[in-house]
A and B are shown apart, each in its own frame.
Chain A
Amino acid sequence: MLVGIDVGGTFTDGVVLADGEVVRWCKRRTDTGRLQETIEAVIDELLPQGSGREVERIVLSTTLITNLLATGQLEKAALVVIPGSGLNPYELRLADNYYVLQGGIDFRGREITPINRSEVRETARKIKQAGIRKVAVVGKFSQRNPSQEEQVASIIHNEYPDLDILMGHRVSGELNFPRRAVTTYYTLITREHWSRFADEIEKVIRARQITAPIEIMKADGGTMSLDASRQMPCQTAFSGPAASTMGAFALTMDDKTSVVVDIGGTTTDLSFILQGEPLHASKGAKLGGRYTHVKALAVRSVALGGDSVIRIQDGRITIGPDRKGDAACFGGPAPTPTDAFNLLEGRKLGDPELSYRAMAGLVKDETKVADLARAVVEEFIDMLCRNIQEMMRSWEQEPAYRVWEIVNRRRVKLDRVVGIGAPAAIVIPRLASRMGCQGFVTRLSAVGNALGAVVARPTLQLTLHADTQTGTYSTDGQVKKLPNLGRIQMKDIKELSEKELKFLAEEKGMADYFSEREFFLEEQFNVIRGWTTSGRIFDVGITISPGVIKGFKGVKI
């Protein structure tokens, strides 16, 4: 028995999957102030008393981090940067307690300017005086050489051993210093909160005799263990849309190209599955308005949902972008697309008379209400179409840095629209026919997100940068010596990265999925100085990408 729970902004969905069949599911309003109570209630609704021991896996996706960052109820932290040459470092200022230090490392990990130890001590003193307990230390190119971050951290630690310090190279090994600074800082200010939440969830679950591993959904469409999430809480942001995409993936399980349309109350989230592979965002998730190193699926959130307000402005119908409350049929204050759907499709929701009255308020002639409802659906579909096409275009036009990538230009040919969320049944067939492709909706669409969480497998990604001239390689926040292999070839570097990935996978308890690894980046450059080759630089990326757990062959629809 597998349990998946998706804690959304408005609703929390849960499913129980057994032998490829959804045996129970439920939907409940989310109590944002008391998430653990909502989760507790959903678990109790899903699992008959005493059946906890039968649970083999439990997966959770939650908006907690997004909410925390949005409401700003976080602990204070200082951000200390070592920017070296480049952009004006003072424009990055994302913390009130922001300090710019001397120092500098270049792209090959060479020290350009040493740090100034007394400046570091002075900075530590200021941080302490400001009553701050947490310090993020982030240097430009620290992933190529972490020594300056380490020196600064160790000086601060020696001065004030009680300070909680997090170094940038431990958070991300990818290029992009501002994203590393943002990710490190947000990790630092959310991880205590998250850890407390994780403790409570664990207590709730264990109290029900569930001994199965607890996993948390990540923005990239994969999962990680609850324990791993304590180190990297930011990766749980946007796990809702990721769960929906994986839900669509689990429902279809083929290598077609689909757009996934997850229609919620306030927004509709669009994402893509390209020839059977969920599409990732090229820039990483945006948290608090800033790009981060959190790998995420490419999701476009359109301010258009079942509860968006319908208006008529200058003779034209507008939907959203705001939501004033529930749909009129559920006692809400304004007509919404849900009301329009209700009138067109059998008047099954809430009090259909309320839907009718709200819609009638927009037109003078009551005989025109049905026309209005149809026009609302058309406008809804128009808006989705435009956004889907823009998303496809922007993916096709994403920058590429090799001749063959430009010559073999990307083209999206959409096979299918997959619907997730309650209003999907009405919108998706019409949207699909407009887009000239197949539509896909099932009775499980309403809980597709929770289904996605329950079957998503763990993911892991690793990039490795090796420089034979310096004899080092960097990966996962560490710089190590290259083994002595004589003339190092690409295959040696690939083997090395597999070894590193295997180690990480074992550490994270996901060794079962090591065999699913794939290389997504293989670059090799000869370093030529004075017309002879004096070294080689390799960039290799290896991943266990999003997919479904072992043994899952599809779900009975």
Chain B
Amino acid sequence: MKPTGLVFFPAFDWAISPTHPEREERLLYTRDQIFEEGIMDLPQITEYQPQMATDRDVARTHFCVPTVRDQATDAHRISCGGALTIADALMRGEIRNGFALVRPPGHHSMRVSHGNRGFCNINNEAIMVDYLRHRYNVKRIAIVDTDVHHGDGTQEIFWHDPDVLFISFHQDGRTLYPGTGFTNEIGGPLAQGYTLNVPLPPGTGDQGILYVLDHLVLPVLKEFNPELVVNSAGQDNHYTDPLANMRFTARGYAELNRRLAPDIAVLEGGYSVETALPYINMGIIMAMAGIDYQYLYEPDYDPGLAQESRKGMEIIKQIIEVLQKTWRDRDKLVENARNTREKFYQRHKYIYYDTDNVREQQLETLRLCPTCPGYLTIDSLARFASGFENRVCCVSIPWQACPICVRDANEHYEAIKKRHDRHEFIYLQDKSNDRFLRYECQTRKEFNIE
């Protein structure tokens, strides 16, 4: 059998700030544990060195303001590059599956990036998905976000894409950052049902999460029939995590990965650096590589933790029912949206960047195309704490775009360029032709992002 690929990149020389949860120490004990176990010596594991994501890799997914270089530092590019390295190894057929055990994380980063929010600047999984499509022509991909926080960035990036199924389960947004991820967030008008959110009550443990997996996630995945399954593998559902309130165990994580059998897992959050991460990371590696994990446990492991309260189980069952209905009705919902005969769909968004203290307002406009997911325009105004303001306009053409959307989007981009007094920067992201432009309004110069 082919081995499991592993990129271990603990970024021992990078931190958001010295005492920040996202600091050098985060994967230190994980290093100690996996090295002491000697798991990399096993024939079931092949370790890879991460590559660095290029400007182009990042621009295929994000509108980094003003430039990719400003949002993606070397550390971000390597972390993201770790996911790309696993994707390459998988597609070359060298590995059966792979785990990018990397930091910094990415799943709170949205399409437009003005700064760091939720410890993330660029979205590792989303960039990997766009890379897989561009490079290997993979079409249907499912992302299961198992971080305790709602994967709002990944959700936003694939909101209008019916070929990416995004399922996130997380602690209820009423009790935890980022405060979103409710059952009524089901995707854009032409991709309804392809985003599913499971807001779990605080205190949910192994039993509850595995129940969601068995009764909702796995049946939906089976029906969606993706070419690849990605686990956005946060580890902060753990019972010792300092930033959340769940009761998941290392063995629960291993069991989840055994049943989900993701092709690729990418580390996201998880800040219980001593009592959780060393054991959960071992568990995920072991489960993915088919290694027996019955001897893996945390120092204070108690089998009673896995038990769910009756009330908790009832809430979980109700949520699953609602989501099953959304999933069943998805085609009808999309058809209804198309039948409105409106040409465009618009929504206003407000996005807060907690780490960098940026407030962003967006007006998003989607062409309700009868044949493709439609091109998208985002008018974004970012207000920084210093009083500085940055307004940009972003035009995105999906990779499945029809010729009319490609034409219209290009015309629209040229038209906004002529009215250059309103924005600082204007961007064109044409995923169908892998062409990415940035226009600087002040100098009236256009740059090809290479």
A interface residues (Cβ-Cβ under 8 A, vs B): 83, 85-89, 91, 104, 106-108, 110, 112, 140-141, 175-179, 283, 291, 397-404, 406-407, 523, 525-528, 531-533, 537
- A106:B299 contact, CB within 8 angstroms: yes
- Chain B's nearest CB lies how many Å from the CB of A176? 5
Contact between A178 and B38 (Cβ–Cβ < 8 Å)?
Answer: yes
Q: How far is the CA of A334 from the CA of B9 in the complex (A)?
A: 51
Q: Does B14 contact A (CB under 8 A)?
A: yes
Task: Say yes or no: A91-B35 contact (C-beta < 8 A), given A85-B298, A399-B47, A402-B11.
Answer: no
Which A residue's beta carbon lies closest to that of B33? A107
B218 within 8 Å of A by Cβ?
no
A sample of 19 cross-chain residue pairs with beta-carbon separation below 8 angstroms, ordered by A number, consists of A85-B296, A86-B37, A87-B39, A88-B291, A88-B292, A89-B295, A106-B299, A107-B32, A112-B299, A140-B36, A175-B36, A401-B9, A403-B75, A406-B74, A406-B81, A525-B12, A525-B24, A526-B23, A533-B18
Most chain B CB inside 10 Å of its own CB: which residue of A83, A401, A533 = A401
Residues of B within 8 A of A104 (CB): 299
Instruction: Assess the A523–B291 pair: CB atoms within 8 A.
Output: no
Inter-subunit contact B13/A86 (CB<8 Å): no
Chain B residues with Cβ below 8 Å from A108 are: 29, 274
**In the complex, are the beta carbons of B38 and A177 less than 8 A apart?**
yes
Closest to A178 in B: B38
Report the minimum CB–CB distance from B258 to chain A (whole Å).
Answer: 15
A-contact bits for B1-33, CB 8 A (1 contact / 0 none):
000000111111110001100011100110111
**Cβ 8 A contact of A403, one of B48, B74, B291, B299:** B74
Which residue in chain A gives the minimum CB-CB distance to B18?
A526
Contact with A along B290-307 (1 / 0, CB 8 A): 011011111100000000
Q: How many residue pairs bridge A and B at CB < 8 Å?
A: 115
Query: Residues of A contacting B50 with CB < 8 Å?
Result: 406
**Residues of A with C-beta under 8 A to B49:** 397-400, 406
Chain A interface: which of B136-144, B278-286, B337-345, B417-425?
Answer: B278-286
Contact between chains at B11 and A177 (CB < 8 Å): no
Give complex CA distance A89, B32 in Å: 18
Question: Measured between C-beta atoms, what is the minimum distance from B67 to chain A in Å?
Answer: 18
Asked if residues B11 and A528 are in contact (CB atoms below 8 Å), the reply is no
List 13 additional A-B contacts (Cβ < 8 Å) besides A177-B36, A525-B12, A531-B19: A85-B296, A85-B299, A87-B296, A107-B278, A141-B36, A398-B49, A401-B9, A401-B10, A404-B13, A406-B78, A523-B12, A525-B28, A528-B19
In the assembled complex, the CB of A56 is this many whole angstroms from the nearest CB of chain B, namely 41
Closest A-B pairs by Cβ, 7 of them: A107-B32, A178-B38, A175-B35, A112-B299, A88-B292, A176-B38, A402-B13
CA distance A87 to B33 in the complex (A): 11
Verify A175–B41 contact, CB threshold 8 A. Answer: no
Q: Which residues of B contact A404 (CB under 8 A)?
A: 13
- Does any Cβ of A come within 8 Å of B52's Cβ? yes
Contact in complex: B33, A403 (CB < 8 Å)? no
Within 8 A of A (CB), among B68-106: 74-75, 78, 81
Complex interface: chain A residues within 8 A of B74 (CB): 403, 406-407
Question: Judging by beta carbons under 8 Å apart, are A85 and B38 in contact?
Answer: no
Question: Closest Cβ of chain A: how far from B14's Cβ, in Å?
Answer: 5
**Chain B residues whose CB sits within 8 angstroms of the CB of A406 once the complex forms:** 9, 49-50, 52, 74, 78, 81
Cα separation A110 to B299 with both chains bound (whole Å): 10
Return chain A residues, CB-CB under 8 Å to B282: 86
Q: Say how far B344's CB is from chain A's closest CB, in angstroms.
A: 43
Contact residue among A140, A397, A523, A527 (Cβ-Cβ distance under 8 Å from B48): A397
Central interface residue in B9, B35, B38, B78, by most chain A CB within 10 Å: B38
Give chain B nearest CB distance to A284 CB in angstroms. 9
Q: Are B25 and A526 in contact (CB under 8 A)?
A: yes
- A403 near B31 with CB under 8 A, answer no
Chain B residues, CB < 8 A from A89: 295
Q: How far is the CB of A407 from chain B (nearest CB, A)?
A: 5
Within the assembled complex, what's the spacing in Å between the Cα atoms of A404 and B52? 12
Asked if A86 contacts B48 (CB within 8 A), the reply is: no
Residues on A with beta carbons closer than 8 Å to the beta carbon of B278: 107
Contact at B23–A177, with CB atoms within 8 Å? Answer: no
B-to-A contact residues, CB < 8 Å: 7-14, 18-19, 23-25, 28-29, 31-33, 35-39, 41, 47-50, 52, 74-75, 78, 81, 274, 278-279, 282, 286, 291-292, 294-299
A106 to B275 alpha-carbon distance, docked (Å): 10
A500 to chain B, nearest CB (A): 21
Query: Are B8 and A176 interface neighbours, CB within 8 A?
Result: no
The answer, among B25, B48, B291, for a CB contact under 8 Å with A525, is B25
Q: A residues within 8 A CB of B14?
A: 403
Are A537 and B28 in contact (CB-based, < 8 A)?
A: yes
Q: Is the Cβ of A402 less than 8 Å from the Cβ of B12?
A: yes
Q: What is the CA–CA distance of A113 and B11 in the complex, to the nearest angstrom?
A: 32
Give Cα A168 to B299, complex, Å. 22
Q: Which of A140, A403, A525, A531 has its CB near the most chain B CB atoms (within 10 A)?
A: A403
- How far apart are the CA atoms of A106 and B276 in the complex, in Å? 12
Q: Which residues of A contact B291 (CB under 8 A)?
A: 87-88
Chain A residues within an 8 Å CB radius of B33: 86, 107
> Closest CB-CB distance, A104 to chain B, in whole Å?
8
The residue on A at minimum CB distance from B21 is A528
Do B36 and A107 touch (CB < 8 A)? Answer: yes
A87-B13 in contact given A106-B299, A175-B32, A526-B23 (Cβ < 8 Å) = no
Does B75 contact A526, Cβ atoms closer than 8 Å?
Answer: no
* A contact residues around B39 at 8 Å (CB): 87
A179–B25 contact, CB under 8 A? no
Residues of A close to B296: CB separation below 8 A:
85-87
Q: Tell me the complex Cα distance, A177–B298, Å.
A: 18
Chain A residue nearest to B278 (CB atoms) is: A107
Contacts of B19 in A (CB 8 A): 526, 528, 531-533
Indicate if the CB atoms of B12 and A176 lie closer than 8 Å.
no
Is A528 a contact partner of B23 (Cβ separation < 8 A)? yes
Are the CB atoms of B295 and A403 closer together than 8 Å?
no
* A176 in contact with B298 (CB, 8 Å): no
**Residues of chain B with a CB closer than 8 A to A525's CB:** 12, 24-25, 28
- Among B8, B18, B274, the residue within 8 A (CB) of A399 is B8
Known: A397-B48, A401-B12. A85 touches B279 (CB 8 A): yes
Chain B hits for A537, CB < 8 A? 25, 28
Residues of chain A within 8 A of B10, CB atoms compared: 401
Residue of B nearest to A110 (CB): B299
Min CB distance A412 to B, Å, is 14
Closest to A112 in B: B299
Which residues of chain B have C-beta atoms less than 8 A from A112's C-beta?
299
Chain B residues with CB below 8 A from A107, complex form: 29, 32-33, 36, 278
| Minimum CB–CB distance for B72 against chain A, Å | 12
Closest chain-A Cβ to B31's Cβ sits at a distance in Å of: 7
A86 to B75: give the CA distance in the assembly, Å: 30
| C-alpha gap A400/B75 in the complex (Å) | 13
Chain A residues in 8 Å Cβ range of B47: 399
If A85-B297, A399-B48, A403-B78 touch, does A176 touch B35 (CB 8 Å cutoff)? yes
Chain A residues whose CB sits within 8 angstroms of the CB of B28 once the complex forms:
525, 537
Contact A403 B11 (CB under 8 A): yes
Cβ contact within 8 Å between B13 and A291: no
A401 with B31: CB separation less than 8 A: yes
Residue of A nearest to B11 (CB): A403
Chain B residue at smallest Cβ distance from A85:
B297
Tell me the bound Cα distance from A104 to B297 in angstroms.
11
Q: How far is the CB of B5 from chain A (nearest CB, A)?
A: 12
Task: Check A291/B38 contact, CB under 8 A, given A399-B8, A399-B47, A406-B50.
Answer: yes
Q: Is the CB of A176 within 8 A of B9?
A: no
| A87 in contact with B25 (CB, 8 Å) | no
Q: In the complex the two chains form, what is the Cα distance from A175 to B278 in whole Å?
A: 14
The answer to whether A88 touches B295, judged by C-beta atoms less than 8 angstroms apart, is yes
Distance in angstroms from B13 CB to nearest chain A CB is 5
With a cutoff of 8 Å between Cβ atoms, the chain B residues found around residue A176 in the complex are: 35-36, 38, 41
Q: Select which of A86, A400, A523, A531 is within 8 A of B295 by beta carbon.
A: A86
Interchain CB contact under 8 A, A527 and B25: yes
Question: Shortest beta-carbon distance, B157 to chain A, in Å?
Answer: 25
Question: Distance (Å) between the CB of B437 and the closest chain A CB?
Answer: 27
